[in-house]
Structure 1
Amino acid sequence: MSKAIGSLGEQLVSHWLENQGWQILHHQWYCRYGEIDLIALQRESKDLPILSFVEVKTRSQRNWDQGGRLAITLSKQAKLIQSAELFLSDHPNFIQYSCRFDVALVRCDRYPHSASTTLFEDIPTFPNVIKVGQPFSLNGYRLLLQDYIESAFS
């Protein structure tokens, strides 16, 4: 169930980024160092296009790590940096772009008396407009993009 909730959080952030003008290049990009949740490209920047490696942390209300903030340890950051370097070596056409590491914090809570037992269908239907800090309901769950931290680490 937690893997499904994590995937839902990634899909939510992907949808939000696309609405912000980003192009999602990869969802759950795997390599020997681990996984990058989302790799997104924004071509409409003032200078060079921006390539963002996005780590998504989806948590319930009763979590121990400040909504996922404490899970972005130095070790996790090092693995993400190594993974990004490997991605860039496999995709040299992105090397000249500005790169950054973003962190998205998503909250997902189940309604206590919900009749729904399915977290989401194959493709969840998100609201057209999602705002940071504004909750919405989906199949018996309350979702919230709590925070989107640009350039969370380097």
Structure 2
Amino acid sequence: MGSDDSSKLNSTRKRSSSLTDAGSNSPQSTNSRDLGTLGENLVAEWLEQQGWEILHRQYRCRWGEIDIIALGRDEASQKNPGISNHQFPILAFVEVKTRRRGNWDAGGMLAVSATKQAKLWQTAEIFLSTRPDLANNSCRFDVALVRCEPSGQNTKHIIPPLTGPNSQSALAGNYLLTLQAYIRSAFSD
């Protein structure tokens, strides 16, 4: 096994444990924060499959928190480099909303209010002030909506494994998580 193969194996092991760590509790004892972390894990894995680099998870400052900060290019600009005028990769600030069935806020979309958007914007500005190397990148705010449903089975492994570029579901603990929507450039200032 070459060093590339062992790196991929170790990366796969880390991803598997990150999706299942927070989901080892029973459905009754798993709190909203644990479910939110499971949803963030799914979205981070999906972004990595799309070729994005995760720069930070759960970035916190006095203004708030950004769930995922990722650096990459959209699929369209990767296939057709002439489409995009961006010399630098895009910096995406991703808000992940994980919701169970019967939620009141349109799968989490209504929770990204104008007040929440302003907090995300301020938090992103603080992040950028700490990373001047990213100053030339285009920035956008994305929203990922994740659906969480009890699966009826407890597993320590992801089923199916998140290996394909279009994989959008994972089984973690007692939950089936599905990426319902990934909204690019969901809002601006």
Aligned equivalents of 2:70, 2:110: Cα separation in 1: 23
Aligned residues: 147
Does residue 25 (structure 1) correspond to residue 55 (structure 2)? The answer is: yes
The alpha-carbon deviation at position 130 of structure 1 amounts to 6.1
Aligned equivalents of 1:106, 1:130: Cα separation in 2: 17
Give the letter for the 2:133 counterpart.
N
Aligned equivalents of 1:92, 1:73: Cα separation in 2: 28
Give the letter for the 1:61 counterpart.
R
Give the counterpart of 1:71 among 105, 111, 114.
Answer: 111
The alpha-carbon deviation at position 42 of structure 1 amounts to 0.5
Task: Identify unmatched segments of 5+ residues in structure 1.
Answer: none
Structure-2 residue corresponding to 1:96: 136
The alpha-carbon deviation at position 137 of structure 1 amounts to 3.2
Does residue 127 (structure 1) correspond to residue 157 (structure 2)? The answer is: no
Question: Cα deviations across residues 28-53 of structure 1 (Å, max 9, x unaligned)?
Answer: 00000010000000157542210000
Aligned equivalents of 1:139, 1:12: Cα separation in 2: 13
Aligned equivalents of 2:33, 2:174: Cα separation in 1: 17
Shift of the 115–50 alpha-carbon distance from structure 1 to 2, 3 Å rule, reads closer
Give the counterpart of 2:40 among 2, 6, 10.
Answer: 10
Question: Cα deviations across residues 112-149 of structure 1 (Å, max 9, x unaligned)?
Answer: xx353x8x68xx674212637x5443333221100000
Does residue 141 (structure 1) correspond to residue 175 (structure 2)? The answer is: yes
Shift of the 140–130 alpha-carbon distance from structure 1 to 2, 3 Å rule, reads farther
Conserved? CA contact 1:52–1:102, under 8 Å? yes
Aligned equivalents of 1:6, 1:147: Cα separation in 2: 15
Aligned equivalents of 1:73, 1:89: Cα separation in 2: 24
Question: Cα deviations across residues 68-100 of structure 1 (Å, max 9, x unaligned)?
Answer: 000000000000000001111111111110000
Aligned equivalents of 2:126, 2:175: Cα separation in 1: 36
Aligned equivalents of 1:146, 1:131: Cα separation in 2: 12
User: Percent identity between the aligned chains?
Assistant: 54
Does residue 80 (structure 1) correspond to residue 120 (structure 2)? The answer is: yes
- Aligned with 2:67: secondary structure? strand
**TM-score normalized by the length of structure 2:** 0.71
Give the letter for the 1:127 counterpart.
L
Conserved? CA contact 1:131–1:145, under 8 Å? no
Q: Which one has the largest radius of gyration?
A: 2
Give the letter for the 1:78 counterpart.
A
**TM-score normalized by the length of structure 1:** 0.86
